[in-house]
Amino acid sequence: MIELVRTNDAVVISFVEALMRDAGIACMVADQNMSVMDGSLGILPRRILVDSEQADEARRILADAGIAHEIRDA
């Protein structure tokens, strides 16, 4: 799996998850439970991971949705 997005913006995370779900691309949000460490302040970013074989398609979907600036460099 590769890191597609890293953010602490819950709206972006939800949006990316919905886009991936609609496209049939499995994704995983890593570091969700790190809020215990930061006192639930949302300081620590969460990572959205996708299978490396679907990474190009996932990047294209995010670009088409207008959030290409959120994509982590490969």
- Who has greater pLDDT, 16 or 41? 16
- Residue 28 carries which side chain, given as an amino acid letter? M
pLDDT range class, residue 44, cuts 50, 70, 90: confident
Average pLDDT, the chain: 89
- Given this model, what pLDDT does residue 33 score? 72
Q: Closest by alpha carbon to 47, among 64, 2, 15?
A: 2
How many structural domains is the chain composed of? Answer: 1
Torsion sign across C-alpha atoms 7, 48, 67, 22: negative
Structural domain span for residue 64: 2-70
